[in-house]
Amino acid sequence: MKIQSLETFIVGNPPPHHGGRYFIFVKLTTDDGITGIGEVYTATFSPVVVQHMIEDVFEHHVLNSDPFHIERLWRRVYGRGYTLRPDLSLMSVLSGLEIACWDIIGKSVGKPVYELLGGQVHDRLRSYTYIYPRAGEDDSVYSDPDLAVERALEYIDIGFTALKFDPAGPYSVYDGRQPSMEDLNRCERFVKTLRRAVGHRADLLFGTHGQFTAAGAIRLAQRLESSDPLWFEEPTPPENPKEMARVARQTSIPIATGERLTTKYEFARVLEEQAASILQMALGRVGGLLEAKKIASMAETYYAQIAPHLYCGPVEGAANVQLATCTPNFLILESIETWGGFHAQILKTPMRWEAGYVIPPTEPGIGVELDESVARAHPYEGTALHLEMREDPV
C-alpha cells in the first residue's frame, strides 16, 4: 500500500465561528483507494500559505510512502531542513498528515485507531464546553457573571458537568503582565458567582491565555482558590515552564497547559519542572496521534492527566476522541458545545454526545468522514488568521 494523492480543504467556519475562523483538512488516498482525513491546526500563517507547506511536505515525505510507517514519517519531517527541534508550523502540518495516515491504517485493518494504540480503556468520555453566547447575542457572557450563570445553568440542564470561561480580559503579544485590580476583582466575582449558582453540579475550569507573569498569576490564583476550580489554564506564557512551576507551587488549583506546545520534547520540560498536572495537547499541532500517545505515557509517570484541547474543527476533535479512549490517565475532553451546528454539518455522521459524555465511535479509522460537498461549499475567503492576539499592550 502506497499513498498516491493529497487534497487540501480550507473551509470557512460560518458565524458564530466557534472553533476559529476556518479549518484546514487534508485527505490522503492510497493506490488501492483507501482514503484518510486529518486536520492541520496552525494559525501562524495564512491558510493559503499553509496549503503550500502541506503540499511541500507531502511531495518530499508522504507521496509513495507506506502509511503504516508512522515513526519513519515523523522523524523525516521533524528533521527536515536540518531542524530536529520543535517547530510549531511544521509539526502542525505533520500532525494533519499523520492523523490521515492513522485513518487509513484503521480502515485497512477494520479497527478504530484507539484499538491500535493500546486498546479501548474508556466506554465514554466526560466532556466540557466553553460558556458561549446564545445564538444572536453579543459577547457579554464573557464579562457579565450573571449572564454567564444563566448560560451555565442551561449547559448543566443538558448534561454538562464541567464548564470553562475566561474573564481575565484581553491578551496581547506583550504578555505576560501584572493583572490590574479591575482584572482581579472581575475574575474573583465571576468565579464566586458561578460557584454559588452551580454548587457542586459542575466543575469550573478557569481559562487564561498566558496573560500574566508568575507573580501576577499567583495573586490571581489566591483570589480563585476558595471556589475550588478544577484547573487554572495557562497562567503564564508557554515558553518558560520554570516560571509556570512557580505558580503551581503556590496554589492549590491544578495547573493546565499545552495548547500552544508541540512534541514530546516541550511537554517533557513541563513535566520535569512540575509546571502542570493537566496536559492539554492539541492533536492538530502536537505532532499527531502517536506523539500525543507518547506524551500521555510520559505524563503517567508523573501522575499527570491529559485533557485534549479543541479550538479547531471536528476532525481534530475526532482524533482527540481516539487518543482519549485508549489513554488510562485521561481526565476530560473539550467539546464545542454538543458538537452540533457546522461541526456536525461538515461530517457525514456527527460526533455522538450524550448527557455530558462523548461516546467513542466503533467505525474503523478515526471514526468520522468529511462531507466534501459541504467543505467545498464553504471556502474561506477572509484574510484574518484562525486566531489573532491584540498587537498593542493591554
Structural domain boundaries in the chain: 3-110, 115-366
Q: Which residues of the chain have pLDDT under 70?
A: none
Contact 272, 266 (CB under 8 A): no
Output the pLDDT for position 367: 98
Output the pLDDT for position 56: 98
Output the pLDDT for position 170: 93
* Rounded Cα distance, 126 and 103, in Å: 23
Output the pLDDT for position 125: 98
DSSP structure class, residue 87:
-
Residue type (1 letter), 248: A
* Rounded Cα distance, 242 and 97, in Å: 32
Burial of 261 (0-12, 13-18, 19+ CB in 10 A): buried
Output the pLDDT for position 143: 92
* Rounded Cα distance, 197 and 175, in Å: 32
> Domain 115-366 maps to which CATH number in 3.40.50.11260, 3.30.565.10, 1.20.120.1200, 3.20.20.120?
3.20.20.120
**Cα 335-337-338 angle, rounded to 5 deg:** 85
- The set of cell numbers assigned to 213 is 507573569
Output the pLDDT for position 30: 98
Output the pLDDT for position 142: 94
Burial 48-68 (b: 16+ CB within 10 A, else e): eebbebbbebbeebbeebebe
Asked whether this chain's domains 3-110 and 115-366 adopt the same fold, the reply is no
Burial of 234 (0-12, 13-18, 19+ CB in 10 A): buried
What number of residues does the chain have?
A: 394
Strand partners, 162: 203
92 φ/ψ angles, rounded to the nearest 5 degrees: -65, -45
Q: Where are the alpha helices (DSSP H) in 161-275?
A: 181-198, 214-224, 241-249, 263-272
Fold annotation for 3-110 = Enolase-like; domain 1 (3.30.390)
Output the pLDDT for position 36: 98
* Rounded Cα distance, 297 and 304, in Å: 9
